Amino acid sequence: MNINPLLQDFNTVHQTPPFNNIKTEDYLPAFIEALDSARADIAKIINSKDEPSFENTVLALEYAGPQLEKVSTIFFNINSAETNDEIQAIAREVSPMLTAYSNDIVLNDTLFSRIKTVYDSRNNLNLNPEQIKLLEDSYKGFERKGALLTGEDKERYRSITTELSKLTLQFGENVLAETNAFQLHLTDSADLAGLPEAIKSAAAEVAKSEEKEGWIFTLQYPSYVPFMKYADNRELRKQMYMAYASRASQGNEHDNKDIITKIVNLRLEKAQLLGYQNHAEFVLEEQMAKTPAKVGEFLQDLLDRSIEFARKDVADANAYAQKDGLKESFERWDFSYYSEKLKAQTFDFTEEETKPYFPLDKVIDGVLGLANKLYGISFIENKEIPVYHSEVKAYEVLDENGEYLSVLYLDFFPRKGKQGGAWMTTYGDQYIKDGKNVRPFVSLVCNFSRPTEDTPSLLTHNELTTFLHEFGHGLHGMLANTTYKSHSGTSVYRDFVELPSQILENWGNEKEWLQMVGQHYKTGEVIPDELVDKILASANFQSGYQTVRQLSFGLNDLAWHSITAPFEGSVNSFEDAAMAKTELFPAVEGTSFSPAFSHIFAGGYAAGYYGYKWAEVLDADAFSLFKQNGIFDKATAASFRNNILSKGGTVDPMELYVAFRGQEPTLDALMERSGLVNPVNN
C-alpha cells in the first residue's frame, strides 16, 4: 500500500513540506481525504449539543481542517511556481470541490446561528482584543459570504462562487500559455544591433537549450524588457510589443475576453445578491479606502498632480526620437527604446551598467544583511530542507537571540511552469496554539535573468528593487507574531499589505546601502560613487509617466468592478474608456490590456489594484521617519516591526500606522520623493 506523503506528519527539518517525496498523483487523493477530514471537523461543531461559546465554535472553526489547508497551500503554490498539464488538470478538478466545501460552511444555517449567538454576547465574554477581532471577523465573514441569503438566492450564490473559481483559474492558465507560446527566433546577428552582450548571451542560451541556432527572445520579463529598451530594429520591437500586448486576446483557445465578461458579471451578481451596488463597493468595505468614491478621488488626485509631468515625459522621448532620425509617428514600442537613449544622454547612464555590480549571490547577501542590520535576524542556508525545484534555496531564519523564526525559500529564475512576475507566498503561516508559537514557511518567487555559461545571474538596479519589494512582504510573514493564523503576517487589508514591501524598496535608493551590496562580479570592486550618484540622480526619470501608467491600471480595475448592470459590450472599448484620461499614446489595433491583467482576474487584487499607489503614500511617509532617524536606526526598525510587521491583521491598519508614525500620512512625501512637486515648464 502506497503511503501518501501529503497525509502524513512531515518528518523533515521544521516539518517543512517534503517536496522530494510528493508526486503529482498524490495530490487528488490527498484532497479527497483531507476534505472528508475537514468536513468531519465542521460537523463536530455543527452537531455539538453544548451551548455555543468562543472556544467550541469560533476557535474550533479557526482550527478546523488543518490537513486540507496544508494540502491546498502546497498544491496551489506549486501550481503557480512549477506547474504542468497534470497539475493544471487537478486544479480544475479540485477548485470547485474546495468552493463547495467553503460554501457548505458559510451557508450552513446552524453553524451561522452558533457564530451569531457568540457574536451577540461578545460584550459579556471577557475576551481579549485578538479574540474579539477573530469573533468579529468570523461573523462578518459569514455575512459577506452569503450566510443571510435564503432559498434560491443561497443556491445561486453557490453556483456563482463555483463558476468564478473555475474562470479565474482558467484566466491565469491562458495568460501563462500565451506567454510561453511566443518566441522571437533570430538567426541574423544584424538583428541584435543595440542589445547588450549579456542579453544576447542569455538569448543564445535559450536557443541552445532548445537545440536551435541563433538567439531566442521570449515574453518573460528578463528577455522582453531589455529587448524593448535596447533593440535597434524597430520592426522587431513592434513584433515583440504586439505579441506581449495581445496575449490572451487573439481569438484563439486562450482568449480571455469572454472570460472577463463572465467574471465581472458574476462578481456583480454576487455583490448585488449580498446587498451591494457593485463588486467594488463589496470589496472596499473591508479596505482602508472604504468606498469606490474614495478610491476614485484618490486616483484622480494623483492623476491631476502627475498627468502634465507624464505628458512631458512622453514629449521629451518623442523629441529625442525625432532628433535621432525617427521618421514615423512615435508609438508604444518606441517609448522604452528612446527613453533609455534619452536617459543615457541626460545622466550618462543606462540600467545595464548596474548589472555587473549586482550579481545575484551578492545581492542575496546584501538583502539578507539588511534584515540583519534592521531587525537582528540571520539566515543560514540549509540544504537538508526539501525544495520543489533544484534552483530553489532554503534558509533557516533565526531571531537576534538565536531562536528559530522561519524558513525562507528563494526561487529566482523563469521556467515554463512558472507564472510571470514576482510574488511572496507561504507554505505555512505563523500562529500560537497550546502555548507553542508555530513559525511560518515563507517563499519569494521572482523571474530574474538566468546565469549563462560564463556569467552569473546579474540584476539591474530595477530588479534589485523588485527583490527588496518581495523581501519586504517576506519580512511581514517571517516576523509575524499573532495568536491566530487568520490575522497572521500578510493577512491584512489589501491596500495596507504593500506597505512592508514598498518601504523596503527605499533602501535601494540609499547610497550607504547600495555600496554595501554592490560589488563587481569579476573584480570585487565596490560600486563606485559616480555610478551610485547616477542611479540616484536618474531615480525620478520619467516618474510622471510611471505614475500615470500605474494609475491607468487602477482606473481600469475600478471601472470593471464598479459596473452596476451586466456588461455586454466590447472588452477593448470598455478598457479604452476606463483608461482614456491616462492615455499618452495612439491606440494600437489588435492589442488589449485587460485579457492579461492577472492581478485582478486571476489574483486577489480585484477592486484593489489602487492599493499599490495607496501604500506608496504610506511607505513614502513612513520612510521619512527612517531618513530622519537614520536608515539603519534600530529603534525605528523595532517600532516598525512591533507596530506593523508583527501585528498582522489584529488591529485596524490606520491605528497601526499612527502608532508607528505618530500621524496619518499625506500625499506630500510621495510627491516629493517622486519629483512631482514643481510645475512642468512647457
Cα distances (Å, whole numbers) of residue 459 to 357, 390, 462, 466, 525: 8, 21, 8, 10, 16
How far is the C-alpha of 90 from the C-alpha of 79, rounded, in Å?
10
How far is the C-alpha of 262 from the C-alpha of 260, rounded, in Å?
5
Report which residue type is found at 61.
L
Catalytic residue numbers read: 470
How far is the C-alpha of 519 from the C-alpha of 526, rounded, in Å?
4
Determine the distance from the C-alpha atom of residue 350 to the mean position of all C-alpha atoms in its chain, rounded to a whole number. 27
Instruction: Give 444-504 as a 3 state SS string.
Output: EECCCCCCCCCCCCECCHHHHHHHHHHHHHHHHHHCCCCCCHHHCCCCCCCCCCCHHHHHH
Please state whether beta strands 378-381 and 184-186 pair in parallel, antiparallel, or not at all (unpaired). unpaired
- Beta-carbon contacts of 332 under 8 Å, excluding residues fewer than 6 positions away, are 241, 245, 585, 588
Signed CA dihedral, 394, 643, 633, 613: sign only: positive
How far is the C-alpha of 676 from the C-alpha of 535, rounded, in Å?
18
What would the grid cell of residue 543 be? Answer: 516618474
For residues 554 and 498, the answer to whether their CB atoms sit within 8 Å is no
Determine the distance from the C-alpha atom of residue 674 to the mean position of all C-alpha atoms in its chain, rounded to a whole number. 22
For residues 375 and 637, the answer to whether their CB atoms sit within 8 Å is yes
Three-state secondary structure call for residue 320: helix
How far is the C-alpha of 450 from the C-alpha of 206, rounded, in Å?
10
Cell numbers 549571490 correspond to: 361
| Long-range CB pairs of 90-94, under 8 A, 24+ apart, other chains included | 90/24, 90/27, 90/28, 90/31, 91/169, 92/166, 92/169, 92/170, 93/28, 94/27, 94/28, 94/31
